[in-house]
Amino acid sequence: MKLNLRDKMKKILIIEDEIDIANNLKAVLKDENYYASIANNSSEAFDRLSDEVYDLIILDVWLDNSEYDGIKILEKVRESSSIPVIIISGHGNIDMAVQAIKDGANEFIEKPFTSERLLLSVGRSIELHETKNENNFLKNKDIYNYKFIGNSNAINRIKNLIKKVSPTSSRVMIYGDSGTGKDIVAREIHRCSKYKDGPFITINAALMEPENIEKDFFGSVDNGSDKIGYFEAATNGTIFIDEVGEMPLQTQAKILRVLTDKQFTKVGDKKVIDLNCRIICSSINNLEILIDEGSFRKDLFHRLNVVTINLPRLVERLDDIDNLIDYFVEIFNRDNKEVLDLKPIIKTRYNNYDWPGNIRELRNIIERYIIVGEKFIEDENNNTDEYTDPNVISLPLKNARKIFEKNYLQSQINRFDGNISRTAEFIGMERSALHRKLKQLGITEDYKK
């Protein structure tokens, strides 16, 4: 669910002394459903800023009959606000543009400019500002909104390792199947570290667009636009790179250079920025296998793999399942309604089950019960024959499991009308992994991608 930060008409303050230009700007913005106000000098500008909350300022550098010029207004605005500012000027040059960006402007536009150029800058500046606000909101709201559940021997070993590694600055590599809680371990390391008061930035390398991945990591400077990258955003905090093995080799080489030099530059810029954050990575696949296949750099692996944490599958830590069930019931039972004890139900229904989706799959099952209630039991009872067919019981476990998985996956696909993405999300598997499993089990019916 998206935040409500964007669900309102955007208010823009135009600070421009030439009435015709100001009115034209206001008309262009109004046509695009922006609400615009005009101030002709610094005094009017500060009065409006004290009375209204604006989403953007469009600011001319040269202002007649004004106590302060545009650059001075920008400086004063930056003393108390991060509101995006677009500087406009009819006497601009490269030095002025660079100085304006250094002083805190988001973009610099030289007059005359087209309506399309203005609107592009307006939309981009507002979107970047809102994205930063959303990230800060989510960081403050959700960063520690979890519990690291488990007292099994496997989890206690991991907890002890976290206690040892957290106070250091060592880089950590977390291995584990999908749904085992790699992100939870990364957050726990951050929470117990000297970086705990800084940001926790999560990146899924598998979902990043290859053509933008370097700009996303390092930031970029382009046509007056200064974009902050993940490394800079994570300053004094932790950056968690999930599925690090999915990064292109070219990007791996550049990240290796950053880790070696502990410095980086933005794409399109020469300014050197110091790297000051902790780096934690995770992967489903063993990176040493990827090295042998030629898709991951050995030297980068050794830079990232200082401390290794291997997360067990749920089937390897069944001693924790009671605590996990209690925890998820507490999370999803927000109305505090009476809920049947799910522990014996789940343990009976999923006896000798491999839990391919691990904790995420268990979480989804509990959430479904909390939502549909008694129908959960009915649905499970309706499927009893699939699990207790005498022919299945007489088979070796490996063969019986294959039949069960085929019936289970086919029933889930049917439940979601053939939508493979929704099925994968519900059962707690990666979509690509589910595709492979379906092919392996011989489920070849048509379904939606």
Four-point Cα dihedral 183, 186, 191, 196, nearest 10: -110
125, 154: one domain:
no
Fill in the DSSP letter of residue 313.
P
Residue 403: CATH number of its domain: 1.10.10.60
Residue 437 lies in a domain: yes
How much is the pLDDT for 390? Answer: 40
End-of-domain residue from the set 252, 282, 312: 312
Examine the pLDDT at 391 and tell me if it is beyond 60.
no
Confidence of residue 384 (pLDDT cuts 50, 70, 90): very low
Residue 127 sits in the same domain as residue 154 = no
DSSP classification of residue 419: B
Supply the pLDDT for residue 294.
93
Average pLDDT, the chain: 83
pLDDT band at 437 (very low <50, low <70, confident <90, very high): confident
Q: How many C-beta neighbours within 10 Å does residue 36 have?
A: 21
Mean pLDDT of 65-69: 91
Q: Is residue 202 within 8 Å of residue 242, measured between CB atoms? A: yes
**How far apart are alpha carbons 374 and 272 in whole angstroms?**
61
User: Is residue 373 scored above 80 in pLDDT?
Assistant: no
356 in a structural domain: no
Domain ends where: 291, 312, 333? Answer: 312
Nearest C-alpha neighbor of 237 from the set 280, 287, 200: 200
Q: pLDDT at position 42, please?
A: 93
Structure tokens at 349: 């229904």
Domain C-terminal end among 82, 104, 131: 131
pLDDT band at 352; cut points 50, 70, 90: confident
Judge whether 357 lies within some domain: no
Q: Are 191 and 230 members of one domain?
A: yes
The pTM for the full model equals: 0.57
Please write the tens of the pLDDT for every residue from 235-282: 999 999 999 998 888 889 989 999 999 999 998 888 899 999 999 999
Q: What is the mean pLDDT of residues 154-171?
A: 95
How many independent structural domains does the chain possess?
A: 3
* Percent of the chain's residues with pLDDT above 90: 39
Find out whether 319 and 154 touch, Cβ atoms under 8 Å.
Answer: no
pLDDT of residue 337: 73
| 367 within domain boundaries | no
CA dist., res. 449 & res. 431, Å (int):
9
Average pLDDT over residues 413-419: 80
CATH number of the domain that residue 228 is part of: 3.40.50.300
User: What is d(CA 302, CA 297) in angstroms, rounded to the nearest whole number?
Assistant: 9
Q: Residue 440: which domain range?
A: 383-449
Alpha carbon 284 to chain centroid, angstroms: 18
Q: Do residues 186 and 100 both lie within one domain?
A: no
Cα(289)–Cα(313) distance, integer angstroms: 20
